[in-house]
Amino acid sequence: MNRKTVLITGSSSGIGKATAKYFQSKGWNVIATMRSPENEKELNKLPNLLCTKLDVTKPDTIRKAIDEGIKSFGTIDVLINNAGYGLVGPFEGAGKEQIQRQFETNVFGLMEVVRAILPIFRKKKKGSILNVASMGGRITFPLYSLYHSTKWAVEGFSESLQYELEPFGIRVKIIEPGAIATDFIGRSADSTSDQAPKEYKDFTDIVYGNMMKAMNTSTGEQVAKVLFKAANDSSRRLRYAVGMDAKGLLGLRKFVSDGILFGMMRLSLLRSTKSVA
């Protein structure tokens, strides 16, 4: 059997780790990349899986991981750009460096990995690039302005890129998970709230409280299964939503006016917000 090979970024936890395990269990070779492979205790015990270092903000690690993957498995068929995190809270509390780090990881880092893989896919006249965006790449929630701007950027980048890569047999696909139970909300998140003016506090408390009540999470494995489907899908389909929340909200975005959508968002997330005027 000719095994296919996938390279995944951000495989140390959550969606990336579940995806590495899922592809491996389906008979693929997996290049599971992460910032600190020396801390990995589980993936490196699996056959046909190479655990190696890749920090999307460090281009030399991207090149090395790709070279090492090709040395181990001969080629790469699918790239999954999964690494990313959320900077959340009032925009006014965000420092320039926090914003830069958010874009360096979620947008420019992703682009650097794409840049590094393209010569390989172009030469083969084949390959798939799967970019993990979010339902938050086409809709927005309050207090997520910076995270959303990165995911909207990933959506626009990917949507346009699909056309110019098509003549080379390269597919681009966007995965749009809803809320997923991972380290995203805890360990990985960065917050602007501590530096935000105190006038935002009531608003922030109410929005986060309402969000917790409304949240309905899916699992990393559910995303992994959709990524697997997309990796094996040679059609031109671009977008794959994951989870009832993502499917529902992205459906609403398509079928109702902005006014109705924003009204529904205010009703469910801003209820009992006191006037801050």
Q: Give contact residues for ligand NAP (rule: CB under 6 A).
A: 9-10, 12-16, 34-36, 55-57, 82-85, 105, 109, 132, 134, 177, 179-180, 182-184, 188
**30 forms bridges with which residues in the sheet?**
6, 49
Q: Closest separation between CB of residue 111 and ligand NAP, Å?
A: 13
Structure tokens at 193: 């709230």
Residue 240, beta-bridge partner list:
175
Q: How far is the CB of 145 from ligand NAP (least distance, A)?
A: 15
Name the strand (E) or helix (H) holding 100.
helix 96-103
The smaller minimum CB distance to ligand NAP, of residues 67 and 164, is found at: 67
Distance of closest approach, residue 85 Cβ to ligand NAP, in angstroms: 5
Do residues 200 and 91 make contact, with C-beta atoms less than 8 angstroms apart? no
Q: Which is nearer to ligand NAP, 5 or 222 (CB)?
A: 222
Report angle CA 221, 153, 243 to the nearest 5 degrees: 25
Active site residue 208: no
Q: How far apart are CA 102 and CA 100, in angstroms?
A: 5
| Closest listed residue to residue 77, CA positions, set 10, 2, 134, 157 | 2
CA distances from residue 261 to 45, 81, 239, 256, 257 in whole angstroms, order as listed: 47, 29, 21, 6, 6
190 versus 202: smaller Cβ distance to ligand NAP: 190
In whole angstroms, how close is the CB of 46 to ligand NAP at the nearest point?
17
The one catalytic residue among 22, 85, 147, 200: 147
Burial 157-196 (b: 16+ CB within 10 A, else e): bbeebbeebeeeebbbbbbbbbbbebebbeebebbbbeeb
Residue 83 or 172: the one with the smaller Cβ distance to ligand NAP is: 83
Instruction: Please say which residue, 183 or 233, places its beta carbon nearer to ligand NAP.
Output: 183
Q: Please report how close the Cβ of residue 167 comes to ligand NAP at its closest, in angstroms.
A: 28
- The residue at minimum Cβ distance from ligand NAP is 14
- Give me the active site residues, please: 147
